[in-house]
A and B are shown apart, each in its own frame.
Chain A
Amino acid sequence: SLGYDGRYINLDANGLLESITIDGKTESVQMDCGFYKGAVGNNEVFGVHSNRSSGAYIFRPNGTLNLFAQNPSVTIVQGDVVSEVRYKYSDWISSILRIYRGAEPFHVEHEWLVGPIPIDDQGFGKEVVMRYHVKDLHNNGEFLTDSNGREMLKRRMNYRPTWDVDLDEKISGNYYPVTTRIAIEDGDNIWSVVTDRAQGGSSLRDGTMELMVHRRLTHDDAFGVGEALNETAFGKGLVVRGIHYIVPGSHADARKVVQNKVLHPWYFLSSSENIPFEDWR
């Protein structure tokens, strides 16, 4: 267990997240990462064939989530201010789980780094997601997202509030924009994941929240951009680094985390070499 003042993240024998304890109450929580293969090829829409690969405008997975094997290399650092668990899943995906002393409201920070996503080896693009699973929470296909950047909107699997829907694409059809927060709830048991930027997200399985953090695709989706979503920097696929904040507790707590983290303060720095503390004061 790593943590402070009755709040802990508990790891299994391999160093993977097993549960989170807050003031004596322990909840089983699992964390996965994986990727969807981007669909390539044509699609029939109203009898017309057209290119409909996964691309900038549309998320179209080919198959279900491919999870990374659960044996990343693990390093643990314990300290007085912050304790962290570092996972390296492969050469292009790694993450750090952090718990801070005195973090109010309580949250667990998950910093991830993804990229450059390899696309040459297998010939298809990949869309990487982080998934969080609260094992004993049953949200029965309902979840909440702040898709409009304002209030939380309730979402239901395979459902639209104003018409009868029959989804052909069960994964992407249940993905919604997440501006800063996605949440699942079962009575008073509420868990949220706060993002540091807008992402796509869903709750495709009971008790889970998944968020798409990076995409690299090989084909244009024919919706107008005219190029594949294949960004590069320094001649390699883009590397993306960001943070998810896992917040157990009330919606009010999660909203405070959004205010603290998404609209975070500005840091200004200046040298104080040769300026004694008293002078600076």
Chain B
Amino acid sequence: RADLIAMREAMGIMQHHDAVTGTEQQHVADDYARVLNIGFHDCDDITSKALSKLMGSAEPVQLTNCMLLNVSSCPVTETNDDFVVTIYNPLSREVRPLVRLPVASTTAQYTAKCPEGKEHPTQVNVLPVEVLKIPGRPGQALGELTFLTGCVPPLGYKSFYISKVSKPKPAKKPRTFAPKEPT
């Protein structure tokens, strides 16, 4: 599979003790990041095809693996009112993940439905920009959607249909301590 070669090469390079321990020079660290990024993107196609096969879908499903979720940035969840999140569990045992996704609104409410139509409890918090501020990263999401997925089977997946509620119920306001000046 040609589209696996870049990741295979990246994993070969990452065996070096500098990559394992982080004792590489800065420009080498930058190159490691570059090589891994190419590897991940090259794997998008095969991942989509594998998931389509697992889902029994005739057409390859269009799925995005948001690489910036760890810094609260994802174009799919931030720009769409309705979106689907598919959670794939690569382990041979079940897991119960708690999903947190960046969203554009801080006041919106969302429903998370599994294919059986069961709604899972959700919560949107204001993303604490003052606490999770990352310099040089403009356009961080304003809100954060959290929901419980329940059990995701081993080597299996679970999908949720997320949609913004058009008429949200009044939400609880966060209780806030009077801030002190940190020293």
B131 contacts A241, CB within 8 Å?
A: no
Whether a CB of chain B sits under 8 angstroms from the CB of A17 is: no
The answer to whether A88 touches B148 (Cβ under 8 A) is no
A270 & B25 in contact (Cβ 8 Å cutoff)? no
Interface size class of A (residues with CB under 8 A): 35 or more
Shortest Cβ distance from A261 into chain B, in angstroms?
Answer: 9
A233 within 8 Å of B (CB atoms): yes
Contacting residues, chain B, for A116 (C-beta < 8 A): 135
Do B113 and A234 have beta carbons less than 8 Å apart?
no
B148 to A267, Cβ gap below 8 A?
Answer: no
Q: A241 and B132 in contact (CB under 8 A), knowing A265-B95, A277-B163?
A: yes
Do B76 and A270 touch (CB < 8 A)? yes
Contact with A along B56-93 (1 / 0, CB 8 A): 00000111111001110010110011111111111101
Q: Chain A residues near B177 (CB, 8 Å)?
A: 14-15, 73-76
CB contact list, B98-138 vs A, under 8 A: 98-99, 101, 113, 115, 117, 121-123, 125-126, 128, 130-137
B134 touches A241 (CB 8 A): yes
Q: Are B125 and A241 in contact (CB under 8 A)?
A: no
Q: Is the CB of A227 within 8 A of B26?
A: yes
In the bound complex, residues from chain A placing their C-beta under 8 Å from that of B88 are 265-266, 268
Q: Tell me the number of A-to-B contacts counted with CB atoms below 8 Å.
A: 198
Size range of the chain B interface in the assembly = 35 or more
* Residue A269 at the chain B interface, CB threshold 8 Å: yes
Query: What distance in Å separates the Cβ of A155 from its nearest Cβ neighbour in chain B?
Result: 19
Across the interface, do A265 and B90 meet the contact criterion of CB distance under 8 Å?
A: yes
Residue B12 CB within 8 A of the other chain? no
Q: Which residues 132-163 of B have a CB within 8 angstroms of A?
A: 132-137, 146-148, 152, 161-163
Q: How many whole Å from B96's CB to the nearest CB in chain A?
A: 6
Measured between beta carbons, the chain A residues less than 8 angstroms from B26 are: 227, 231-232
When the two chains form their complex, are residues B180 and A266 in contact, meaning their CB atoms are under 8 A apart?
A: no
Asked if A163 is at the interface (CB within 8 A of a chain B CB), the reply is: no
B residues sitting closer than 8 Å to A (CB atoms) are 22-26, 29, 47, 51, 61-66, 69-71, 74, 76-77, 80-91, 93, 95-99, 101, 113, 115, 117, 121-123, 125-126, 128, 130-137, 146-148, 152, 161-163, 172, 174-177, 179-183
In the complex, 24 of the A-B residue pairs with CB atoms within 8 angstroms, ordered by the A residue number, are: A71-B180, A75-B128, A75-B176, A75-B179, A76-B176, A77-B126, A79-B123, A79-B146, A81-B121, A94-B133, A100-B148, A241-B71, A259-B93, A264-B95, A265-B152, A267-B69, A268-B51, A268-B63, A269-B64, A269-B65, A270-B62, A270-B76, A271-B82, A281-B161
